[in-house]
Structures are given as C-alpha cells and as structure tokens.
C-alpha cells in the first residue's frame, strides 16, 4: 500500500514529541472531542503546556477553513512517539499485566470529531453546547457508554483511516484483524502489547474514543 496522497505537513515543535525510534506493534484510534480542523488542533498542541502529548497524525473533518474533509495532518513521523494513552499504573495492576510505556510502540490516529451528542427537541448538541447538524449525526442501535447519538465520522475520514492502516500494516507488519470486544472495552491483549489495532477504549474505561460507528466498523471488517 502506498503512502496516502492527501497528507498535509504541520510539524510540531521538537519539544512536543520524542525523536526516538521504537518497534511499532499497535495502532490506536482516537477522536479529538473537538472541531473539524486537524491543523488548528496541532497548533493547540504546540501552544499548550501539557508536555509531549500528541499523535503523529490527525484527520480533519468537514467544515474547517484551513484543511479539507479527510485530510491527513501529519505532525511528526510515525517512527517517533509521544504520550497519547495516559494509562495509570493501577490499570495494569488490576488486569495483572506488567506496566509498560505502550505509547512508545503504538501509533495514534486522532480523528477530528465531537464525540457524544445530546438531543434537545429535534436538535443535537455537543458537550460545549454547539449545535451539530442532523445530517452529521450517527444514531447507534443501542447506547455505547450511555450515548446513542454521536458526531458521525465522515466517509472521507474513514477512507483516510483505511489508507493509513494499510500503509502501516505494510511498513510495520501490524495485523489488522477486527475484534469488537478488544476494540471497545479494556482488555489484556491491548495492555500486554499484543500486536493489532485498538481504540483508546481498549486501555481505559474512562475513554469513549472511538465509538462503534457502523460505517467505521464495516471498513475495519473489510481490511
């Protein structure tokens, strides 16, 4: 698989990630719980004081002025790393797994997406009380972590995720087998650094990214 063509370079300052190379074994899907712009998110990471917390790529959504729907915004090379999982020591202890800094061996993808939504009358709102158009809402058959209504991942975003997964599978030999339980709940395989594709939910009960969007799942099943 060739490198995706719709990549925009928006490099972070070098003090925002670690220029250290480690074997890559896992790919982790996140969403930002923010607006559509991967470029704006990258600038915010550069400006904050949180330290080296980032993913190597973001995928913009529709409606941003400075980046296109589905555009991959790369902020550092996938061979390097930054913190993106935030796993506490007690999680490893609870699952009887030796603690590891899994951020070093995992590649994170951040999808620009608001996450769960609240329906008020016939309208939908994100957690900062901004309205999301009905056409951009994903309605699940059953609640996930208490929510039925979610900001939909766009078709362009899903396609960019697909291309990145296939590219990194070829580059790092990471298997892409789909397992719903492992992707959407905390499990020992993720914590043990078993090679594969996971989500933030695979490591932490307090996270809800990404959610089980049917279109995303259909893509993952067909890799």
pLDDT at 12: 97
CA within 13 Å, CB half, 1: 18
DSSP state of 200: G
In this prediction, residue 79 carries a pLDDT of 97
Q: What is the pLDDT of residue 117?
A: 98
Domain assignment of residue 130, yes or no: no
Residue 121 lies in a domain: no
**pTM for this prediction:** 0.96
Helix (H) or strand (E) holding 218: helix 214-221
Q: Which residues of the chain have pLDDT under 70?
A: none
Q: Looking at the 3D structure of the chain, how many domains does it have?
A: 1
Residue 78 lies in a domain: yes
Q: Distance between CA 45 and CA 4 in Å, rounded?
A: 24
CATH, residue 214? 3.40.80.10
Range of the domain at 174: 7-113+153-221
| Dihedral over alpha carbons 222, 153, 109, 73 (to 10 degrees) | 120
CA distance 157 to 215: 11
Beta-sheet strands, E only, within 82-215: 106-111, 118-120, 123-125, 131-132, 137-144, 147-151, 196-199
pLDDT at 4: 81
* Residue 119 belongs to a domain: no
- 3-state percent breakdown (helix, strand, coil) of the chain, nearest 5: 30, 25, 50
pLDDT at 142: 96
Largest interatomic CA distance in the chain = 51
Distance CA 54, CA 76 (A): 9
Within-domain flag for 101: yes
**Residue pLDDT, tens place only, 58-106:** 999 999 999 999 999 999 999 999 999 999 999 999 999 999 999 999 9
Distance CA 142, CA 150 (A): 12
pLDDT at 122: 96
Q: Is residue 95 part of a domain?
A: yes
pLDDT of residue 5: 80
The answer to the question of residue 125 being in a domain is: no
Nearest to 177 by CA among 155, 153, 200, 195: 195
* Domain-embedded: residue 63: yes
């Amino acid at each position: 698989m060739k490198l995706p063509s719709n990549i925009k370079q928006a490099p972070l300052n070098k003090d925002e990630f670690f220029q250290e190379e480690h074997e890559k074994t896992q790919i982790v899907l996140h969403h930002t719980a923010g607006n559509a712009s991967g470029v704006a998110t990258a600038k915010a990471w550069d400006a904050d004081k949180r330290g080296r917390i980032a993913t190597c790529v973001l995928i913009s959504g529709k409606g941003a002025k400075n980046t296109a729907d589905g555009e991959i915004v790369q902020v550092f090379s996938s061979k390097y790393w930054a913190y993106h999982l935030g796993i506490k020591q007690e999680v490893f202890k609870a699952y009887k797994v030796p603690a590891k800094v899994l951020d070093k061996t995992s590649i994170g993808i951040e999808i620009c997406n608001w996450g769960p939504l609240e329906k008020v009358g016939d309208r939908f709102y994100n957690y900062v009380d901004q309205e999301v158009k009905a056409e951009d809402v994903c309605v699940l058959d059953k609640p996930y972590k208490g929510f039925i209504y979610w900001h939909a991942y766009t078709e362009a975003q899903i396609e960019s995720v697909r291309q990145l997964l296939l590219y990194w599978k070829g580059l790092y030999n990471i298997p892409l087998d789909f397992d719903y339980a492992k992707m959407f709940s905390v499990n020992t395989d993720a914590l043990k650094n078993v090679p594969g594709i996971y989500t933030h939910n695979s490591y932490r009960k307090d996270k809800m990214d990404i959610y089980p969007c049917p279109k995303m799942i259909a893509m993952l099943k067909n890799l």
